[in-house]
Amino acid sequence: SVGQTTMNVKARKELMVRLEAPSFFVETDKQRIAALVTNDSGRDADVNIELSATMLKVSGELKQKQRITAGATATFEWESEAATSGEAIITAKAWIDSKINDGVELRVPIQTHGRLYSESTAGTIGRESRLKIVVRDNADQNSGRLKLTLTPSLAGNLVSSLDELIDYPYGCV
C-alpha cells in the first residue's frame, strides 16, 4: 500500500510587523527605516506602531497610527542618522487596541567612518625593553583595539600566518 499527499500550511499572526533597514550603517549615514505592518485580523483596524532605536538619531513621529484594511499591508517610514560606531538596536511594536499585537527587534552594526589603520614593528627586545604605543587623537574609541604579539623568532609569526592563508576565501592560495 503506497500513497502521496501534499498539504499547504500558512503560519501567520493576525497582525505582523517587519522591519526594513540597511544591513549595516557607517557613521554619519542617513538612511530610511521602514516598518511594514500587515493586518490579517479579518477586519479593518486602526493600527498603532512605535519605533525605538539606540545609537541612531531618528526623525519624525516615533509613534504613529493608521487605518489598515483587512488583508492589506501599510508602510511606515522614518529617517535615521548613525551618530557613532557600535551596534544599533531598532525595535518596532505594532498593536490594535483590541490587544492584537506584534513586535520585532533588529540589530545593525554601525561601522567607523574612516579606514583601518594598523602598525607593525620588529626588533630585538632585551631584558628591560620598552615599547611606546601612540594612540592617534582621531582614533575611534568605540571600535579601536590593540593586539600585541610577541614571538621569539620570525618563524613564530610565519606559522600563525598560515592559518589566515588557509582561511582565505575563493581557494586561490
Q: Is pLDDT at 93 greater than 80 in this prediction?
A: yes
pLDDT band at 171 (very low <50, low <70, confident <90, very high): low
Number of H helices and E strands in the chain, helices first, is: 1, 9
**How confident is the model at residue 173, as a pLDDT?**
53
pLDDT tens, residue by residue, 32-75 = 999 999 999 989 999 999 999 999 999 989 999 999 999 999 99
Which three three-digit cell numbers place residue 125?
627586545
pTM for the full predicted model: 0.68
Averaged pLDDT score across all residues of the chain? 86
Q: How far is CA 45 from CA 62, 64, 94, in A?
A: 20, 14, 12
Q: Phi, psi at residue 107, to the nearest 5°?
A: -105, 125
Select, from the ranges 89-98, 111-120, 124-133, the one with the highest average predicted confidence (pLDDT). Answer: 89-98
Select, from the ranges 7-21, 110-124, 143-157, the one with the highest average predicted confidence (pLDDT). Answer: 7-21
Q: Is pLDDT at 151 greater than 80 in this prediction?
A: no
Q: What is the 3-state secondary structure (H, E, C) of 70-136?
A: CCCEEEEEEEEEECCCEEEEEEEEEEECCCEEEEEEEEEEEECCCCCCCCCCCCCCCCCCCCCCCCC
**How confident is the model at residue 18, as a pLDDT?**
95
Classify residue 131 by burial, with Cβ atoms within 10 Å: 0-12, 13-18, 19+.
Answer: exposed
**How confident is the model at residue 170, as a pLDDT?**
67
- Please answer whether residues 47 and 66 qualify as being in contact, where contact means their C-beta atoms are separated by less than 8 angstroms: yes
Share of the chain above pLDDT 70, in %: 89
CA–CA gap between residue 71 and residue 37 (Å, rounded): 10
Which three three-digit cell numbers place residue 21?
533597514
